[in-house]
């Protein structure tokens, strides 16, 4: 059987990096894309093709997809993983940063998806796997821009699943909790830069400490990126994949609380939990 072709965005670190390896180990021909090509040298040593890919650049995205199609005639699986978390009060975060957050997390994902759909539709098969977060179902103070993007990707993915079903193309959502990639620490640092000294400073220090507690091995909500990658491989290989895959420590319990608890009670439970994470 001919090996399937997978394209992974945001593959220089964390979930994307591990996903590229896991897909390769599963038998895929893998293309890994990211802005920092030098960070993907270890992937090249494993026989993974690396691409310069900036999901805020039309030319970069179009060139990356075209190079895969030219080499193999198709993309069978697209893993939209590129993204970052911008935190800070809505009042204080500049609108340009809010736009950039949507440009990377939403518009880049949408454009990459647009570029692969025609080939998948003509083939009558394909799989688009969108990495969102449990943050696409829950919310945090000082995270309006980030959660706005993740809620948007959840809604877009659900609509897209129905659009593409008649064409044999599956759309899958991956919803990780915190990983050991250092994401939470980076997000917390950005949060303090935006809101650590102003009217939201007390709340900002609590949230930043809680975000940091989800990064690095051994922390309460930290899950190895490889665990998420393995879930993505399961979704890529499943004959009939689930529509969404919560994954990681606390993911199922947090999402269950969100479904069950009224908003005000969830607010109180979540804020108390964050204070505990922050050591307060």
Which residues form the catalytic set?
146
Please name which of 80, 255, 54 lies closest in space to residue 173, comparing C-alpha atoms. 80
DSSP notation for 14-35: HHHHHHHHHHHHTT-EEEEEES
What would the two tokens of residue 105 be? 């997390």
Please name which of 90, 87, 112, 85 lies closest in space to residue 176, comparing C-alpha atoms. 85
Contact between 153 and 136 under an 8 Å Cβ cutoff? The reply is: yes
Q: What residues contact 78, with CB distance under 8 A and at least 6 apart?
A: 6, 7, 9, 112, 113, 116, 126, 127, 128, 129
Contact between 224 and 240 under an 8 Å Cβ cutoff? The reply is: no
* Chain centroid offset of residue 30 CA: 18
Q: How many CA atoms lie within 13 A of 6 on its CB side?
A: 29
Please name which of 21, 19, 67 lies closest in space to residue 47, comparing C-alpha atoms. 21
Instruction: Write the burial class of residue 96 (CB in 10 Å: 0-12 exposed, 13-18 middle, 19+ buried).
Output: exposed
Cβ neighbours around 128 below 10 Å, total: 24
């Amino acid at each position: 059987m001919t090996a399937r072709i997978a394209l992974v965005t945001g593959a220089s670190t964390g979930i994307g990096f591990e996903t590229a390896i896991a897909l390769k180990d599963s038998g895929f021909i893998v293309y890994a894309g990211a802005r920092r090509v030098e960070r993907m040298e270890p992937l090249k040593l494993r026989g993974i093709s690396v691409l310069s890919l900036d999901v805020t650049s039309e030319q970069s995205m179009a060139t990356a997809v075209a190079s895969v199609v030219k080499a193999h005639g198709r993309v069978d699986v697209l893993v939209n993983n590129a993204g970052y978390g911008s935190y800070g009060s809505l009042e204080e975060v500049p609108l340009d940063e809010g736009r950039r957050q949507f440009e990377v997390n939403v518009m880049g994902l949408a454009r990459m998806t647009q570029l692969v759909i025609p080939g998948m539709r003509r083939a009558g098969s394909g799989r688009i796997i969108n990495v969102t977060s449990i943050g696409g179902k829950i919310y945090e103070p000082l995270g309006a821009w980030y959660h706005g993007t993740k809620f948007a990707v959840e809604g877009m993915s659900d609509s897209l699943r129905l659009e593409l079903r008649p064409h044999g193309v599956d759309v899958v959502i991956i919803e990780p909790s915190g990983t050991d990639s250092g994401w939470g620490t980076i997000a917390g640092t950005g949060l303090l830069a935006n809101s650590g000294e102003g009217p939201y400073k007390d709340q900002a220090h609590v949230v930043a400490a809680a975000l940091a507690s989800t990064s690095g091995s051994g922390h309460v909500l930290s899950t190895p990126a490889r665990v998420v990658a393995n879930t993505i491989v399961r979704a890529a290989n499943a004959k009939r994949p689930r529509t969404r895959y919560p994954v990681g420590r606390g993911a199922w319990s947090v999402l269950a609380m969100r479904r069950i608890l009224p908003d005000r009670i969830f607010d109180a439970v979540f804020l108390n939990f964050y204070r505990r994470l922050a050591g307060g």
